[in-house]
Chain A
Amino acid sequence: MATLLFLLLFFGLLACGMPIFLVLGTCAALLYLVSGEPLIGAAQLVITQLNSTTLMALPLFVMTAAFMRFGGVAKALVDLAAAWLGGVRGSLGLVTVVACTLFAAICGSSVATALAMGSILVPAMIERGYPRSFALGVVGASGTIGIVIPPSLALILYGIVAEQSVPRLFLAGILPGLLQAAAFFLWVLYDARRRNFPVEPALPFAERMRITGHALPALIVPVTVMVGIYGGIVTVTEAAALSAVVSLLVSLFFYRGFHWTETLRIVADGIRSAATIMLIVATALAFGHWMTLSGVPSQLVRFTVDHGFSTWEFLLAINVLLLVLGCFLEVTATLLLVLPILAPALKPLGVDPVHFSIIFTHNMEIGLVHPPVGLNLFVLSTISQAPIGEVIRGILPFLILLLVVLGIITYVPALTLWLPRMVFGG
């Protein structure tokens, strides 16, 4: 009964349009009050937990994404993909998949990827005579690659909450991310032939090399991050700071996305972006801590074991739960609310936490494009002025592909675990 009331309050406040950080903060405060814990303990807990160097990778990567948005980086990557894919039927659709994958390796946020790419590629595709629903669908779906390709904000948070090594999680995300990109690529290739999409002229080799050269500075960022982290040169947080600085400098001096006098304003904008996520993180931490204390996780394990759920049934149930939650909550919030309950249950049920991290984030991805309320759907509808139904129609085939990929990720653990085991052993 009390649980039901509480859930009603939680979703009621969300429905009022209250900011998510405030909903979490208010509910956490109420829970502390009801259970007789002093509120100062909650405040102390939050400020202490925020004092974490690993956590700082998060705002720094968000800042990187913010800098990248101005620098003409997205444009350079689109040109790069277009230069090499010219001459293939439906090449602009393929360009979207490839450019989104590259951009995802830079910025770490799915919605930012969809936005940056959508504002360039959707008008371009419509102009060349692609159906608008297809253009929106491929951009929205490809944007979700951002959440598993490193550096991934979601995986950093997962690493902190589930106490896993972030570099290991990053490696685990690469193959599933590429599998998803490949599935999209093949589908677009097929769809382009079926519906006879236009062909772009192939560029001469010298032109291709020139465009590749122009895109190189943008590609420095993911290379620095990967080499830095896996070469053991820098920590994840240092890599985040490095990528923020490199992206700022590249945008400022190479692509000249903004004047240097605007630097403070751009940095402030990056911090504001980071703040939206960090406030949710802070309040969700208090919430999650209460959740762990309340003994819900151990009850969950007992329930699952008592009812004879097998591991795969457990995973299936989790998939469904996450898809439903992803329709209502934002990625960070879902992760921080659900993970403290699930993380302790993984070991007893024989689920590898690294494997689970990718299942988890892939679910979040689907939530981003899943009707009725995936965030990417709304972003695309906003930037293109298209009705939401059209976006949904365009995204449907990709949604099915995403569900198939989710199935593969869930039931073929080797796909996620092979690469981290190769590199780190274990």
Chain B
Amino acid sequence: MIAPLDTTLRWWDRVEQFLIGLLGLVTLVIGIWQIVGRYFDPAHAISYAEEVIVYLVIWAIMIAASQLVARDGHVRSDMVLRLLPASAQRWAEIFNCIVALVFCFGLVWYGWQIVDTSLLLDERSSTDLQFPMWIYYTALPVGGALMAVRYAVRLVRYAFHYDPATMAVGRPGAHEMPLDMRETG
């Protein structure tokens, strides 16, 4: 792949990783804050922690979905696929990328409509927080768009830079593997 694009992708990955880590860390802090606050410091206790945790985690997960595409980390069963000859595997992967792109565009399109409607109605959560729901809904189109970019890159790689020797690696889902076995972007 062309060098500047690779550099851009690497930085993109780092930004995503930083955002995910930050969202995850804030989630944990808020979760603890709610428990500790309730029992030890009721004056500063918060009641909306669980609600905010949902928003943070879903956002983090939608961004992580894009990272999983880059790391080939989405759970799939590639048993049958690995029995095929290399060229057939390539076409299957290209097919997968195209379906994924269509799916992601759907996610962006319909996700955006949900956000738009929510903005129009000024939809708020029914708790004390009155959280504007469009912020939460935006995770859907953003996640779709980020994934679409990764799938486009993957498609280009399989279409023009295919090397049967290195591409054909079967592995279980990323969440089941230890770090050292899957830190390959």
Contacts and interface: CB of A to CB of B under 8 A. Distances in A.
A355 interface: no
B21 interface: yes
A241 B32 contact: yes
B50 A53 contact: yes
Interface in A6-27: 13-22, 25-26
Interface in B45-68: 50-51, 53-54, 57-58, 60-62, 64-65, 67-68
A44 interface: yes
Interface residues of A, number: 75
A356 interface: no
A382 B50 contact: no
A15 B61 contact: no
A272 B68 contact: yes
Interface in B137-161: 137, 139-140
Interface in A197-215: none
A179 interface: no
A280 B67 CA distance: 16
A111 B172 contact: yes
B57 A17 contact: no
B96 A267 contact: no
B175 A62 contact: yes
Contacts of A42: 110
A287 to B, nearest CB: 14
B57 A274 contact: yes
Contact of A271 (B60, B77, B136, B140): B60
Contacts of B82: 17
A69 B179 contact: yes
A141 interface: no
Contacts of B179: 69-70, 269
A241 B114 contact: no
B174 A272 contact: yes
A53 B51 contact: yes
Contacts of A15: 77, 80-81
A321 B102 CA distance: 33
Chain B CB count within 10 A is highest, among A19, A56, A112, for: A19
Interface string B108-133: 00110110000000000000000000
Given A238-B31, A272-B20, A277-B175, A22 B75 contact: no
Contacts of A50: 54, 58
Nearest to A65: B175
B91 to A, nearest CB: 9
A273 B178 CA distance: 10
Interface stretch (A168-176, A371-379, A399-407): A371-379
B94 to A, nearest CB: 10
A17 B76 contact: yes
Interface string A262-285: 011111111111111111100000
A263 to B, nearest CB: 7
Which range contains the number of B residues in contact with the other chain? Answer: 35 or more
A244 B28 contact: yes
Interface in A217-272: 233-235, 237-238, 241-242, 244-245, 248, 263-272
Contacts of B178: 69, 115-116, 119
A371 to B, nearest CB: 12
Contacts of A245: 28, 31-32
- Residue among B51, B111, B177 with the most chain A CB within 10 A? B177
Given A59-B61, A271-B20, A51 B95 contact: no
A316 interface: no
Indicate the member of B31, B58, B111 with the most A CB atoms within 10 Å.
B31
Contacts of B139: 47
A268 B78 CA distance: 26
B80 to A, nearest CB: 4
Contacts of A40: 110, 113-114
A155 interface: no
A265 B21 contact: yes
A104 B78 CA distance: 27
A47 B137 contact: yes
B64 A17 contact: no
Interface string A19-53: 11110011001000000000110111011001111
Contacts of A266: 21
Contacts of A272: 20, 64, 67-68, 71, 73, 174-175
Given A44-B114, A47-B140, A273-B175, A60 B31 contact: yes
14 contacts: A13-B99, A17-B78, A17-B81, A17-B93, A39-B110, A40-B114, A119-B178, A235-B50, A271-B21, A275-B65, A276-B73, A276-B74, A277-B75, A278-B58
Interface of B: 17-18, 20-25, 27-28, 31-32, 34-35, 39, 50-51, 53-54, 57-58, 60-62, 64-65, 67-68, 71, 73-82, 89, 92-93, 95-96, 99-100, 103, 106-107, 110-111, 113-114, 136-137, 139-140, 171-179
